[in-house]
Amino acid sequence: MSPKPDRTDDAIQSRKADHLRICLDDSVQCQWVTTGLEQYRFTHVCLPELALLEVQTSTSFLGKSLGAPLLISSMTGGTELAKTINIRLAKVAQQFNIAMGVGSQRVAVEHPQVADTFAVRSHAPDILLLANLGAVQLNYGYTIDHCQQVIDLLEADALILHLNPLQECIQSRGDRDFRGLLARIKTLCHNLPVPVIVKEVGNGISGAMAIPLIEAGVAAIDVAGAGGTSWAKVEGERAEDLRQRRLGQTFAEWGLPTAECVTSIRGMAPHIPLIASGGLRTGLDAAKAIALGANLVGMAYPFLRAAHESESALITLTELLIAELETVLFCTGNRDLQDLQKSDCLQPQ
């Protein structure tokens, strides 16, 4: 079976342009569902036996060293604006040695002329760089060769497969047959030469769902929980008819809060490399997620806003996130992220 093309020739490209335009607007953030991180606070240490200059945020993930535990979550590609954004993101990721994902590369498989909008490796030769495809495409004709193709295009260190059943329900002509997908993910994990990471897109992955994915061979999980960008809202905004619009409104706040995903997965799988994302907006959020057991913290919307503005806005944002993380380490008396995780300094409010 060959990949099922989108109905109109440039449907994916115009969808990508819509996603950028709509996501840049505040109104598609969750309004009353939160990440759950606000339910925790750090115990303040008034006399840390440290100098601020000593604290350090470096870490490693999937065998690669990082300057800070930050991931620019998968976002875009496929249009000229997306290319500009991807290049800015890649340059800043390289400058700070943080990880970066790109948006779904399906558009590059089906329209090879836009492949260059993803190809950022030359701007970020050293970073942990992550390819991206929708897992459900494995049910619609995508094979290991397509996965290898998007990995090669990016010179990626790993492949992210995103799980987005709610988004596919709301998107006009979404791909809604998820049957047998776990078995296909398992086959892929055992045959691809790079690690496979599974993520959601803002509705969360529970501990109960993480276990079969880990047993299938995924190398890491990105929870992408609720509390931030709502893909039900995004697709509802783009909806072509009242039915899809109504679905988007009804499910706008659907999903598992990010903090709950992190604690439930960590409780059931103490060793799986774990990315917390979905609604995280500050270095304080990042520190809380790490204290709860995450190894890396992903953010999409904040990086998108800054990248849309300028490279220097992105640098300012990244410096700020790292300064916030360092401040938490200092004011909890922890020298590094390992100490933070070992300490008992995060408490329910």
Binding site for ligand FMN (CB under 6 A): 19-20, 23, 73-76, 103-104, 132, 162, 199, 201-202, 224, 228-229, 277-279, 299-301, 304
Beta carbon nearer to ligand FMN, 297 or 346: 297
CB of 86 to ligand FMN, least distance (A): 11
The helix-helix angle for 311-331 and 283-291 (nearest 10°) equals: 50
Q: How far is the CB of 160 from ligand FMN (least distance, A)?
A: 6
Nearest approach in angstroms of CB 288 to ligand FMN is 15
β-strands 70-72, 158-162: how paired? unpaired
We find the least distance from the C-beta atom of residue 297 to ligand FMN, in angstroms, to be 10
Taking the complex as a whole, how short is the minimal distance between the CB of residue 310 and ligand FMN, in angstroms?
17
Phi, psi of 210 (to 5 degrees): -65, -35
Q: In one letter, which amino acid is 123?
A: H
Nearer residue to ligand FMN within complex by CB, 311 or 339: 311
Q: Which residues touch 138 (CB under 8 Å, ≥6 apart)?
A: 161, 181, 184, 185, 188
Which residue lies nearer to ligand FMN by CB, 233 or 331?
A: 233
- Comparing CB distances to ligand FMN, the nearer of 282 and 316 is 282
Angle CA(312)–CA(308)–CA(87) in degrees, nearest 5?
75
* Nearest residue (CB) to ligand FMN, 124 versus 205: 205
Burial code (b: 16+ CB inside 10 Å, e: under 16) for 32-45 equals ebbbbbeebebeee
Token pair recorded at residue 114: 């836009």
Nearer to ligand FMN, 203 or 334 (CB): 203
Residue whose beta carbon is closest to ligand FMN: 228
* Nearest distance, CB of residue 177 and ligand FMN, angstroms: 19
Choice between 202 and 333, CB closer to ligand FMN? 202
Query: Least distance from C-beta 201 to ligand FMN, angstroms?
Result: 4
Whichever of 159 and 331 has its CB closer to ligand FMN, that residue is 159
Place of tokens 């109109």: 8
Give the shortest CB-106-to-ligand FMN separation in angstroms. Answer: 8
